[in-house]
A and B are shown apart, each in its own frame.
Chain A
Amino acid sequence: MFVPNYEVKKQIIDLHMGEKVHYCYQCGRCTDICPVSELEPERYDPRTLVMQGLLGLSHMILQPDKQFNLWGCQTCDLCDEICPNDIVLTDIFTILKNQSMRMGLAPEAYISQAKMVMETGQAIPLQDAIARRRDKMGLPLIPKPNVKEIQKILKATGFDKKIGYEEPKEEKK
């Protein structure tokens, strides 16, 4: 016995606010064109994912031992372009992935990248060795981003809590 996740369903329907809602008629062109489904047809299938998403059956998607059924999507956007019914599949998958992240079900590499951005304001912070190499190559210094400001924004959006980020304990001054 299960009930649909109405919150997820609402978020997906809200994507089409102001436009007519496009229902998927399961033609399968998304799966046909997907470069990941081609390699892993049993494990990643956008057609099934879009049906389950539109019906709010998120419990079928968000399963700890089956992350690849959702995160197999690499957001290449091919399915969005081919859908004859103008469904933006990757927008639906983004909502589902956001939900998956909040439940702590995202692949580890995604979680660590998110934490890096929270901590340094960048996905790839500047290492000393690269700074020296840049200097040797005659490249200019990279202006430093305002990390405090970025963190303030990310706290306002609740990013830290959503990704399960714990602030490093600082010594009291």
Chain B
Amino acid sequence: MTDAEEFLLYEGCMIGQRLPYLEKSARLVFEKLELKPKDAAFGCCPDPIGIQCSDYTSWLSLGARNLTLAEAEGKDIVSLCNGCTQTLTVVNHELKHSESKRNKINRILKEVGREFKGSINVSHFLTYLLEEVGVEAIKAKITKPLTGLKVACHTGCHYMRPVEIMQSEEDHENPQNLRKVVAATGATIIDYEEEHLCCGYAIMNAEEDVSLRRLQKKLDSAINAGAEIFCVICPSCFSQMDFNQRSLKKKFEKDYDIPIFYLTELLALAMGYTYDEIELKMHSQKPKLIKERFEGGAA
């Protein structure tokens, strides 16, 4: 490892400005793995659903603007969010491969003195972990394995699709990347029928009721298969699955209390940090089982 800053961190507005405790765990994991991300003054990625659906050209333009910030520094972007990763990867791909789109967007960017060149790459932190760090290097930093913890993995739609652009190595019908990294923590990964199913977050803006029924099916499937927690890699999935268990309770009069972990929270715990250090109390569904089982005390 060199001392140079290796990549630009794109934590995204959801993590940075709504769920900062997820970022806390990510930064602790960076430290353990001796990664040196740099921050940049990125704007909205923008949201691959909301803004792309509002106006495609504006979505391309703002995405391209963010890419030019990284191009100016000659560094790749690594994101903690599925949505940001998808927007920036797809915009990068579209503008690299379509001359007409690139010319159109560059005419717009010229007004602010920028030009998209297509000289950097974008990846999700999960992909970066597998491709640049490696499972063995992660295992070498595990000091407190999460032995016996039964984890349901939820990769999320926008990490994997469109397959042609996002992940040549990942099988979107049977995703393996997240499983590989979670397995490194010593936890047990459970199989459940709805693993590939969307969390329902993205339908919330159109209709809450459908979104909650979508979520319920996902949670039920994993709980029935014996999952004790979920592990996710997207703050939108996290938010939907953690906070909206309360809404499910109100709506269906059924208790849900399954803790949701963002990947770097699980990694931080397995690398020796405690429940308190990574502020797990901030979760809506408190993961008390971590204290009880791995820290020898009640939460």
A and B from one assembly? yes
**B20 interface neighbour in A80, A101, A125, A137, Cβ under 8 Å:** A137
Cβ contacts under 8 Å, A55 to chain B: none
Query: Could you tell me the dominant secondary structure of chain A's interface residues?
Result: helix
Cβ contacts under 8 Å, B157 to chain A: 76-78
Considering the complex, which residues of chain B in the window 222-270 have a beta carbon less than 8 Å from any beta carbon of chain A? none
* Interface flag for A156 (CB, 8 Å): yes
Cβ contacts under 8 Å, B210 to chain A: 36, 39-40, 72
A residues contacting B by CB (< 8 A) are 35-36, 39-40, 67-68, 71-72, 74-78, 80-81, 88, 93-95, 97-98, 101, 106-107, 109-111, 113-114, 117, 121-127, 130, 133-134, 137-140, 142-147, 149-150, 152-154, 156-159, 162-163
**B55 interface neighbour in A93, A123, A134, A163, Cβ under 8 Å:** A163
Residue of B with least CB distance to A160: B58
Binds A, one of B122-130, B145-153, B198-206, B291-299: B198-206
B residues contacting A by CB (< 8 A) are 13-14, 16-18, 20-21, 23-24, 27, 39-44, 46-58, 61-62, 65, 108-109, 111-112, 157-158, 161-163, 172, 197-198, 200, 202-207, 210, 213-214, 279
Q: Are A76 and B41 in contact (CB under 8 A)?
A: no
Q: Are B62 and A98 in contact (CB under 8 A)?
A: no
Residue of A with least CB distance to B16: A142
Query: Could you tell me the dominant secondary structure of chain B's interface residues?
Result: helix
* Docked CA distance A81–B163 (Å): 7
Cβ contacts under 8 Å, A39 to chain B: 210, 213-214
Instruction: Jot down 10 A-B pairs with beta carbons below 8 A, ordered by A.
Output: A35-B198, A36-B214, A78-B157, A107-B207, A109-B205, A124-B18, A130-B18, A139-B23, A142-B16, A143-B42
* Docked CA distance A144–B43 (Å): 8
Cβ contacts under 8 Å, B54 to chain A: 97-98, 101, 106, 110-111, 113-114, 159, 162-163
How far apart are B239's CB and chain A's nearest CB, in angstroms?
Answer: 11
* Docked CA distance A134–B42 (Å): 18
Q: Which 10 A-B pairs have the closest CB atoms?
A: A74-B202, A77-B161, A143-B41, A145-B43, A109-B205, A97-B53, A124-B13, A76-B157, A159-B58, A71-B206
Q: Are A113 and B47 in contact (CB under 8 A)?
A: yes
Known: A72-B210, A76-B161, A81-B162. A150 touches B65 (CB 8 A): yes
**Among A71, A88, A95: residue with most chain B CB under 10 A:** A71
Q: Are B13 and A150 in contact (CB under 8 A)?
A: no
* Docked CA distance A121–B44 (Å): 6
Cβ contacts under 8 Å, A157 to chain B: 55, 57-58, 61, 108
* Docked CA distance A158–B108 (Å): 11
* Docked CA distance A117–B13 (Å): 11
* Docked CA distance A72–B200 (Å): 11
Known: A122-B17, A124-B14. A153 touches B53 (CB 8 A): no
